Structure 1
Amino acid sequence: MKLPRAVTVLVDFTQALRAHGFPLAHEQVVMFLGAVRLLGPKSIESIRHAAHATLAPPADRHAEFEALFHAFFFEVAAVASAAKSLPEEDAAVKDKGEQRREPPEIEGANRSGKAATAQEILGIRQFDAGPDDQAVGRLEKEGPGALPRRLGFRKIPDKKGDALDLRRSMRRVVEHDGDVIRLMRGKRKSLQRPIVLLIDISGSMKAHTADYLRYAHALTQMADKVESFAFGTRLTRITRALKHRDPARALESAAAIVDDWDGGTRIGPALSAFMADPRYASLLRGAVVLVLSDGLERGDPKPMREAVARIRRRAWYLAWLTPLAADPRFRPETRALKDILKFLDQLGNGGSLSSLVDHTLRIGSPS
């Protein structure tokens, strides 16, 4: 069905935002169209207000959002150029028809956690899948019995069950023309809690990214339900890529999906974008959430604090695993990390694959 021209223009604007790295859910686009219809619109300002209210641009990207808005609706070339994340000569171009290229190096940036930056670098990485070490083997062997569990809502037949299964009992009554042969008993099934991984792939985490992806792949293969996301200057879902059984193929697929390897750090906006998408936020209900990041947010700590607080309200368990905690002398120093401590179940060691597995196996017993 062909959309009216006015609606097509608004939809094209949301596609332009997506093309510039703004994460928009389908529900947000529908809400945007509904808000414009509700407001009239009487003027271009009505569309602007509707866009800000429903598309929810991150606080640190308001200027970029405004530039794109002006560029799209007023066709001002000068403003359009300001909406780009990087100058043309510095921007890495990723195209399906081109060969892979290494991400550009920025002198003096992202050599350590102290060099965390918000600058965006677009590129790809190649990973060596590496051998199956003892840590991965231990996770595969002990994980199924150690991961936290919950009771499902549906009952399964069990002669020694702790409750009557009325649904199956009534079905047997109907099958036997109203005669009560035997009441069925049942119990609630024990299910593994879902796991959500939020993996920092910014430049300050470059030394740990490969181990984090190997861990995510091993966990995806072993656990019942794992959702994985990578974030640096933008948010990318990599769950499907990690479902490949072959580690090399899984890491290669993840490397091809993510655009912002080894770039800047925008933890708060990335987590805010995760919570702004209803599909992603719904994954947190009763879940084990592990954030693998150094937590070195160099911008305003408020978005990070608010996003972590919202995650805490939905999740069953929330841990922040940082490689900085591998040092026994580590103490949170940044304002952002200090602000989120009260929301965490644990601030733990994310310095190696072995430490990640150790933490996973200690998360908790069945609820």
Structure 2
Amino acid sequence: MMRQGTLPLASAPFLHFARLLRRHAFAVAPEQVSSFMQAVTLLGPRSMADIREAALATLAPPPNRRGEFEAHFRNHFHGDGQPSIEGEEDEETRIKDDHGTRQEEKQTTRQEKGGELSSAIEQLSSRDFLRDDDGLGPFRRKLASTLPARRSFRTVRTHSRGKLDLRRSLREIVSADGDIPSPQLRRRQTVPRKLLILIDVSGSMKLHTSDYLKLAHAAVQGADRAEIFTFGTQLTRITSALRIRDRDQALARAAALVNDWDGGTRMGPTLLAFLSVPRFSAFARGAAVIILSDALERGDHADLETAIRRLSARAFRLSLATPLAGDPRFQPATAALRAILPDLDDLIDGSSLGSLTDFILSLARPAPASSAIWKRVS
């Protein structure tokens, strides 16, 4: 986006409006911001209606979020106060990358367990992680060689089972004065697929968050193309923090980045926010995507259903690991979980590190029949 220091002072409100839309998960490209400000310049403008029409034409809000766009426009340019948007959450979904600024943290003494106190209310807090022996060393060493692979468009030389490399073969013929040497062959490389792990850090998952972060650190250390995000009421990318080799330092850095530990959960909106950022959405394309969450979405689950459907379309394999499945009596019977089951490739037990590491190391094997996911539903 344009630097504010190189622009006239009068342009600041328009630049701030584009940033406001981005903070609320609108997909606004730098080119659109430039077009918006150029349109305002061409129109004069003579009235706020001209600015509004320029914003609609250049920033192009999706039809299903037009009402939200109008509310943010009135709030920003008319000072109508906080926008009240029917069907939207009261709190915005914030997106935080590894290098983002740290927001004010609030300490909490609220005690939650299981999924009974699942909530959509934002509650910010910090978290500390202590060292213990978790046995993740073998998982870290095996991960790179066991991830599912894909054929790259790049090629490498080979002595058998490849296609004729005509250029190298002709060069060999010329250098051998017309003699026909052994044919030169090339084949397409095989590279591991990306691994994307999305970790629910809401209050209903607090008993498992520590283990999940240790697993994520081992995944980043063991695989070159692993990406880790946390979500609760906000979305935070913590991959860079987990690249620190020392686990204590890495988890301390991650704990400092994430502000919404043990708070509420807005799974649908945060996953949609993830998909609204092109750079983040690209992480899911062709990747093995694992969501570590109990999927206890409060209220309307339409956003969750939309997000899972879009993730499934991008991913090579989409899996949900829920600690609730550790109970032999577990059935995916909630409305939200039943709605997303058709788009999942796996629904697995996420109650222990052992079950999770065994599953991740088996991702290269074909997924079971989709009917096996909900076979226990009565």
How far is the alpha carbon of 1:123 from its aligned partner? 2.3
How far is the alpha carbon of 1:230 from its aligned partner? 0.6
Normalising to structure 1: TM-score of the pair?
0.81
Specify every segment of 5 or more residues in structure 1 that has no aligned partner in the other structure, as ranges: 87-94
Does the alignment pair 1:103 with 2:107?
yes
CA contact (8 A) 2:105 2:259 kept: no
Give me the whole-angstrom Cα distance separating, in 2, the residues matched to 1:223 and 1:57.
Answer: 40
Q: Which residue of 2 aligns with 1:348?
A: 348
Q: Check 1:150–1:81 CA distance in 2 against 1; reply closer, same or farther (3 A cut).
A: closer
How far is the alpha carbon of 1:327 from its aligned partner? 0.8
Q: Which residue of 2 aligns with 1:46?
A: 53
Give me the whole-angstrom Cα distance separating, in 1, the residues matched to 2:305 and 2:250.
Answer: 32
Give me the whole-angstrom Cα distance separating, in 1, the residues matched to 2:35 and 2:198.
Answer: 32
How far is the alpha carbon of 1:308 from its aligned partner? 0.6
Q: Which residue of 2 aligns with 1:123?
A: 125
Does the alignment pair 1:15 with 2:19?
yes
Q: Which residue of 2 aligns with 1:147?
A: 147
Q: Which residue of 2 aligns with 1:191?
A: 191
CA contact (8 A) 1:146 1:361 kept: yes
Does the alignment pair 1:240 with 2:240?
yes
CA contact (8 A) 2:319 2:344 kept: yes
Q: Which residue of 1 aligns with 2:268?
A: 268
Q: Which residue of 2 aligns with 1:322?
A: 322
Q: Which residue of 2 aligns with 1:113?
A: 115
Specify every segment of 5 or more residues in structure 2 that has no aligned partner in the other structure, as ranges: 93-100, 368-378
Give me the whole-angstrom Cα distance separating, in 2, the residues matched to 1:23 and 1:248.
Answer: 32
Q: Check 1:9–1:358 CA distance in 2 against 1; reply closer, same or farther (3 A cut).
A: same
Give me the whole-angstrom Cα distance separating, in 1, the residues matched to 2:176 and 2:199.
Answer: 56
Give me the whole-angstrom Cα distance separating, in 1, the residues matched to 2:82 and 2:141.
Answer: 56
Q: Check 1:153–1:72 CA distance in 2 against 1; reply closer, same or farther (3 A cut).
A: same
3-state DSSP of counterpart to 1:240? helix
Give me the whole-angstrom Cα distance separating, in 1, the residues matched to 2:156 and 2:34.
Answer: 45
How far is the alpha carbon of 1:153 from its aligned partner? 1.3
Q: Which residue of 2 aligns with 1:89?
A: none
Give me the whole-angstrom Cα distance separating, in 1, the residues matched to 2:340 and 2:218.
Answer: 28
Give me the whole-angstrom Cα distance separating, in 2, the residues matched to 1:306 and 1:123.
Answer: 29
Give me the whole-angstrom Cα distance separating, in 2, the residues matched to 1:51 and 1:127.
Answer: 46
3-state DSSP of counterpart to 1:43? helix
Give me the whole-angstrom Cα distance separating, in 2, the residues matched to 1:319 and 1:181.
Answer: 50
Taking the TM superposition and a 5 Å limit, the aligned residue runs for 1:262-341 are 262-341=262-341
How far is the alpha carbon of 1:139 from its aligned partner? 0.8
How far is the alpha carbon of 1:75 from its aligned partner? 3.3
Give me the whole-angstrom Cα distance separating, in 1, the residues matched to 2:274 and 2:229.
Answer: 9
CA contact (8 A) 2:267 2:304 kept: yes
Give me the whole-angstrom Cα distance separating, in 1, the residues matched to 2:283 and 2:295.
Answer: 22
CA contact (8 A) 2:18 2:33 kept: no
CA contact (8 A) 1:322 1:350 kept: yes
Alpha-carbon RMSD across the aligned residues, in angstroms, is 3.6
Taking the TM superposition and a 5 Å limit, the aligned residue runs for 1:192-231 are 192-231=192-231
Query: Amino acid of the residue matched to residue 185 of structure 1?
Result: L
Which deviations, in whole Å up to 9, do the C-alpha atoms of 1:49-85 show, x marking residues without a partner?
469843x6997xx77x766543421235x54899995
Give me the whole-angstrom Cα distance separating, in 2, the residues matched to 1:349 and 1:84.
Answer: 32
Give me the whole-angstrom Cα distance separating, in 1, the residues matched to 2:248 and 2:150.
Answer: 33
Q: Which residue of 2 aligns with 1:75?
A: 79
